[in-house]
Amino acid sequence: MDAVVLREETLDPADWSQVQALSHQIVDDAVAYLRDVRDRPAWRAMPAGVRQVFNSSLPTAPTPLGDVYHAVADNVMAYPMGNIHPRFWAWYMGSSNFTGALGEFLAAVQGSNLGGGSHAAALLDGQVVDWCKQMIGFPGSASGTLVSGGSMANLIGLTVARNAHAGIDVREHGVAAMPKPLCMYGSDQLHSCHRKAVETLGLGNNALRRVATDAALRIDIHALETAIAEDRRAGLQPACIIASAGTVNTGAIDDLHALADLAAREGMWLHIDGCIGALVAIAPENRHLVAGIERADSVALDPHKLLHAPFEAGCALVRDAKLHRDAFAVTPEYLETAPRGLAAGDWLHEYGLQTTRGFRALKIWMALKEHGADKFGRLIDQNIAQARYLTDLIEAEPCLELVAPTSIDIVCFRYRAADGSRVKDINVEIMLRLQEDGIAVLSDTTVHGEHCLRVAVANHRTRRADLELLVGQVVCIGAEVSVMHLAK
């Protein structure tokens, strides 16, 4: 009888040497891509023909890897979001770094799952969490977990806060069984992810009290005390103060010591949203601005912002490691710890919602090792100094005005309009032309009812000359657009 030839397949290439050559090409192209980023537009619109490429249906037959790469180079790499560009200042992004990109690549090559286990990647993940604690002055006994970003990190902190103050075993019985409805408090400048968090936690959006801010966009402590007292009188359970160490609109930093004192007096949890500002703690000239962050019960911070880790990388830290683990740990029969071997390590999934976790620690670890935390601190100081420089440039231009005080690295300003009713239209048009002409990418927002353009200098490639160019272009485009609006 003839032997049956069994053809078994794999995703590994038939010829590794071909893949090796193409990989060298990809790395060479990637180096040139980052090296020359300044020579390209900050953003450009995609032609309809390129957009069309993304409508093709599921490929069922193979395509040579070289062709796949060329399609990526032509249609994807050529039309980036732009946040690695020196004149990208929209929303609040980091600008990535090449070492971090190598870390992403190596993490994917190793392919480890950071749900837990006894292996090097898991130890390195824990080390990065320890470094995050050290950077903000948190005790070594605290726990933490790397997550996708600030939104998830805030959700982790608020989950532990809810469970610690629920008055029952809320994991077992649910929020409906809580003796009193819980309330959480933050300023009217809180990031929108907190709304998603309280909704997800079953508390409802109404349970998140938005407390008024002062002229510096910091939470009004007296108004906060009043809100807490009123809720107590109404039979509610004030559970958690959410402080902002760097608000998303303007970068304002709440008075963290005052909030830590208040939380202690009221027996409440203090969670600090430090997605923007927590890492100012490593910036020698400005670290005093976040003094008190080390007193929080939990902190959310974002290595993909001021550590410029390639997306995604957030970190949640919790002072009380037991409360943290108690909020998430589940030990199913198929994930029990073994006395020896691979399953002898810590189960990292017990500190968050995910079971499978990516090896996002490596990209942070490699860049911190290469440059040292001191350099990241200096870069944060550099961005803050650049934002202050931009503030001065704006104040020196009669046709421009600041709309909010500059606290750290975010500047809110606008082009003045002779006709106040058109001020938003004019400024939006300026923002769009800056983007479409590839000059710079800003975003806009509304602060205390005033619309403005917003420049977030969270970018290690930005130079002062870029900010001078921005101001010159805003003045120029603003004059043109205002004339058009007057003629309407």
Ligand X SMILES: Cc1ncc(COP(=O)(O)O)c(C=O)c1O
Q: 316 vs 481, which CB is nearer to ligand X?
A: 316
Q: Which two tokens stand for residue 117?
A: 């286990």
Q: 166 vs 184, which CB is nearer to ligand X?
A: 184
Query: At its nearest, how many Å lie between ligand X and the CB of residue 106?
Result: 23
Query: At its nearest, how many Å lie between ligand X and the CB of residue 92?
Result: 4
Q: 150 vs 292, which CB is nearer to ligand X?
A: 150
190 neighbors 250 (Cβ within 8 angstroms): no
Q: Which two tokens stand for residue 90?
A: 């929209």
By CB under 6 A, tell whether 302 contacts ligand X. yes
Cα–Cα distance for residue pair 387/311, rounded to 1 Å: 24
State which of positions 389-428 bind ligand X (CB under 6 A).
none
Q: Of 24-32, 102-110, 143-151, 434-442, which segment contacts ligand X by CB under 6 A?
A: 143-151
Nearest to 442 by CA among 470, 422, 461: 470
Q: Residue 365 burial (CB < 10 Å; 0-12/13-18/19+)? A: buried
Instruction: Figure out which of the listed residues 191, 209, 319, 349 binds ligand X, where binding follows CB under 6 A.
Output: 191
Instruction: Figure out which of the listed residues 275, 348, 404, 434 binds ligand X, where binding follows CB under 6 A.
Output: 275
Helix, strand, or coil here: 204?
Answer: coil
Query: At its nearest, how many Å lie between ligand X and the CB of residue 472?
Result: 28
CB atoms within 10 A of CB 373: 15
What is the per-residue DSSP string for 336-348?
Answer: PPPSSSGGGS--G
By CB under 6 A, tell whether 276 contacts ligand X. yes
> What's the CA dihedral at 195, 317, 88, 23 to 10 degrees?
-120
Q: Of 33-41, 150-158, 411-419, 471-479, which segment contacts ligand X by CB under 6 A?
A: 150-158
Q: 178 vs 410, which CB is nearer to ligand X?
A: 410
Q: 247 vs 427, which CB is nearer to ligand X?
A: 247
420 neighbors 404 (Cβ within 8 angstroms): no
By CB under 6 A, tell whether 157 contacts ligand X. no
Q: Of 114-122, 145-153, 158-166, 369-377, which segment contacts ligand X by CB under 6 A?
A: 145-153
Query: At its nearest, how many Å lie between ligand X and the CB of residue 266?
Result: 23
Nearest to 416 by CA among 390, 445, 395, 447: 395
Instruction: Figure out which of the listed residues 82, 126, 150, 303 binds ligand X, where binding follows CB under 6 A.
Output: 150
CB atoms within 10 A of CB 27: 13
By CB under 6 A, tell whether 453 contacts ligand X. no
Instruction: Figure out which of the listed residues 273, 350, 381, 429 binds ligand X, where binding follows CB under 6 A.
Output: 273
Q: Which residues of 463-484 are buried (b: 16+ CB within 10 A; e: fewer)?
A: eeebbeebbebbbebbeebbee
Q: 160 vs 248, which CB is nearer to ligand X?
A: 248
Q: Which position's Cβ is nearest ligand X?
A: 150
Query: At its nearest, how many Å lie between ligand X and the CB of residue 425?
Result: 26
Q: Of 144-152, 169-177, 290-298, 353-361, which segment contacts ligand X by CB under 6 A?
A: 144-152
Tell me the H-state helices in 274-360.
303-306, 321-328
Kindly determine how many residues on this chain lie close enough to bind ligand X according to the rule CB under 6 A.
14
Q: Which residues of 251-275 are buried (b: 16+ CB within 10 A; e: fewer)?
A: bbbbbbeebbebbeebebbbbbbbb
Site string for ligand X, 227-246 (x = CB under 6 A): -------------------x
Q: 293 vs 423, which CB is nearer to ligand X?
A: 293
Q: 150 vs 358, which CB is nearer to ligand X?
A: 150
Instruction: Figure out which of the listed residues 82, 94, 149, 358 binds ligand X, where binding follows CB under 6 A.
Output: 149
State which of positions 38-97 bind ligand X (CB under 6 A).
92
Q: Which residues of 200-217 are buried (b: 16+ CB within 10 A; e: fewer)?
A: ebebeeebbbbbebeeeb
Cα–Cα distance for residue pair 480/485, rounded to 1 Å: 9
| Cα–Cα distance list, 81 to 165, 427, 464 (Å) | 41, 21, 22
Q: Of 8-16, 28-36, 146-154, 180-188, which segment contacts ligand X by CB under 6 A?
A: 146-154
- Check residue 112 and give left, alpha or beta (phi > 0: left; psi -120 to 50: alpha): beta
By CB under 6 A, tell whether 248 contacts ligand X. yes
Instruction: Figure out which of the listed residues 42, 102, 132, 193 binds ligand X, where binding follows CB under 6 A.
Output: 193
By CB under 6 A, tell whether 151 contacts ligand X. yes
Contact positions toward ligand X, by CB under 6 A? 92, 149-151, 154, 191, 193, 246, 248, 273, 275-276, 302, 314
